[in-house]
Amino acid sequence: MDRDPYVHPLLGVLPRERRGALGFGLVSLNEDACVCEAGEELDRVFFILGGSARLVHRDASSGVRMVMDTASAGDAVGLELGDGPGISRFDVLADAGFGAVVLPMDDVRGLLNECPEFTRAVLALVEKKRSMFLDRLLAAKELDVSRVVFDPALVERFPPQYLLNKRVLPLAFQAGLATIAAASQDLGGIEADMQRYLTAQRVMAYRISPKQFDRVYMEQVQKKGGPGRMDDQVAWYRHVKAKEYTLAFEVTSETKPDTDSKSDLDGAVIVGMFNKIVGEALDLGASDIHLEPNPGGLDVRYRLDGELLLRPERVQSAYAPAVVSRGKVLAGMDISERRRPQDGRMTVTYGRRVVDMRVSCVPTRFGEKMVLRILDPTTMLIELDQLVASRKVRDSVKGMLEQPCGVVLVAGPTGSGKTTTVYSLLMAKKNEYVNIMTIEDPIEYVLRGITQVQRNPHVGLDCPHAIRAFPRKDPDVIIVGETRDPETAKAALEAGLTGHLVISTVHANNVFATAYRLKEMGTEPFIIANSLIGVLSQRLLRRVCPNCAQTVQYHRRLIDPMELPGIPEPLGDFYLFSKGKGCIHCNHRGYRGRVAAYEVLRITDELKPLIASDVAFAELQRHAVRLGCYVSMREYAGILLNSATTTPEEVSRILFVENR
């Protein structure tokens, strides 16, 4: 490396008489050494003489790291990168051969005040970096969006006029990072806008030509001037909008619908409205229906593949209470009771489909809110071989189920599909020689040949009591719906030690955190070590619609930071993965149904002493990797990508920093 600081273009402009008074230092850093951290206030400026440094954005919520830009010889870290001088927006990491001359920030401030040559050079560099910033992010040249698949749901979150005025198009939104294409140089206020429309915390912009912008805007936002704006917003709803539904409900109560002063005609209207709401949900493949009273009427939301979508048409205020009452009648609830939460069930027949629904009702400020959970056996009861895509994970899980006793836990946050996995494990164990008992709250499915017990604390039937009472019935397998308190944890683990195979769920972020969660609940570490035979952790990803899937290019800069093992090499700078374009079968969303991604840890004899002792999280993980009894979620996600089951966007959403 050249040790003369004045070969740096910014310093080369300094007048000779000014040079002598400066306190220069030289640094050279190893590869991956940290130059500065995001948000750090720098007390010096690095004028890069040789090598380069990466500007890395780390998403706080997902832990995904993305290389945003590179600073190389002639650039300076601490000047042009910050929100203000001296504050870096990114983690800056040295590449091999990084060498820089450093100057205290106070000296730099002095130069900016006193040396017009220096100030001009700095401003020119800042200007150059700013205009290059957009270009550099994805490629050195303009992004070609002709092959980009736009997500209509994402586009719909912006008023078309805003996109037109700003000349920007949203490309992706994942893990807090909004990716946009911009035809304008002026992106002032873009971050605040993206936060407003998408709740984005960071924005990454690619440049596109004004011509491309116009074309894409016409196609994606205006739809060639065809249907109006309202229709664009509700692409997912368009095909059920005008449909009429005939449904048959199995009425469990003799109570008449709310007839306060309603005529028969109104009664028929209300029956029709309720049928339409439920029928649409079944057609759309929704998992839940929310009926939410508001001053302006009854809002209806459908949960599609985990996402709540507002039905564009709300029920008028005048009919709102009667529509909810209709639901209460069909679910066997007391319609005169409006101040207490109630639970019920209903069965609906729609064509050949017979679907069970679990209904709950809670009073809110503007009236009663109702949630109908659609229990669809085809998505709920899945064979283990179909549920688990990875052979390695499948074999590991089957190994656990072959154990005569011990505890298998399924971890994950609420709504991650843990119950489906537990039912799947249960079905894998089920045969006429095995006695299976469950304690659940609520019982999701009634299964033949299995003794299912509903938890009922009001009569003293709580999980720990049930688990302790079960052995008298001689069960081989005990299913505990959820291990959520210390007593249940203790009872379940003890049952595992005394000759029963226990399967349960636990609210924990990953497999390693599960052992710590049990310790937090006050369970003795040696009991955990000896009773636990395996832990699965899971997340749900949206499945690519097989009907409209197409191959899409993803730049290395988006994929490489996820460090996914087992995915094929990129072609040049691009990886090829599958993504849905949107069609009638997927409600124009490109995704249809969901798939679980697993992480699995089998507790071997070698791991037991580590769990019994107070070994650190990372240590446990290192041993598990070495022993080959652990499959990471990254590895599993790679399998799902390779099989075109899901998209990189979905994968990036679930990768958590604590798994690393």
Residues of this chain that bind Zn ion (CB under 5 A): 545, 547-548, 580, 583, 585-586
**Rounded Cα–Cα distance for residues 397 and 175 (Å):** 30
Following DSSP, what letter does each residue of 281-296 receive, concatenated?
HHHHT-SEEEEEEETT
Question: Which of 11, 164, 169 is closest to 101 using CA atoms?
Answer: 11
User: Which pairing describes strands 436-440 and 451-454: parallel, antiparallel, or unpaired?
Assistant: parallel
Helix (H) or strand (E) holding 35: strand 34-36
Please state the three-class secondary structure of 225-240 as a single string: CCCCHHHHHCCCCHHH
Q: Least separation, in Å, of the C-beta of 585 and Zn ion?
A: 5
Closer residue to Zn ion in complex, CB, 396/647: 647
Closer residue to Zn ion in complex, CB, 328/579: 579
Closer residue to Zn ion in complex, CB, 171/586: 586
Contact 180, 154 (CB under 8 A): no
Cα–Cα distances in angstroms (integers) from residue 58 to residues 55, 176, 564, 607, in the given order: 10, 10, 17, 32
Positions of E strands within 603-646:
630-631
Q: Least separation, in Å, of the C-beta of 588 and Zn ion?
A: 7
Q: Least separation, in Å, of the C-beta of 584 and Zn ion?
A: 7
Q: Least separation, in Å, of the C-beta of 580 and Zn ion?
A: 5
Q: Least separation, in Å, of the C-beta of 579 and Zn ion?
A: 10
Closer residue to Zn ion in complex, CB, 561/580: 580
| Identity of the residue numbered 243 | K
Q: Can you list the alpha helix ranges (DSSP code H) found in 554-616? A: 556-559, 608-612
Q: Least separation, in Å, of the C-beta of 145 and Zn ion?
A: 21
Q: Least separation, in Å, of the C-beta of 589 and Zn ion?
A: 7
**Rounded Cα–Cα distance for residues 532 and 502 (Å):** 9
Closer residue to Zn ion in complex, CB, 271/583: 583
**Rounded Cα–Cα distance for residues 639 and 541 (Å):** 13
Closer residue to Zn ion in complex, CB, 206/302: 302
Longest dimension (CA), the chain: 99
Task: Name the region of 238 (left: φ>0; alpha: ψ -120 to 50; beta: rest).
Answer: alpha
Closer residue to Zn ion in complex, CB, 217/591: 591
Closer residue to Zn ion in complex, CB, 103/545: 545
Q: Least separation, in Å, of the C-beta of 544 and Zn ion?
A: 8
Closer residue to Zn ion in complex, CB, 252/379: 379
Question: Which of 412, 384, 383, 389 is closest to 536 using CA atoms?
Answer: 412
Q: Least separation, in Å, of the C-beta of 74 and Zn ion?
A: 49
Closer residue to Zn ion in complex, CB, 455/594: 594
Distance between alpha carbon 567 and the CA centroid of its chain, in Å? 21
Q: Least separation, in Å, of the C-beta of 153 and Zn ion?
A: 13
Following DSSP, what letter does each residue of 514-566 receive, concatenated?
HHHHHHHTT--HHHHHHHEEEEEEEEEEEEEPTTTEEEEEEEHHHHGGG--TT
Contact 359, 335 (CB under 8 A): no
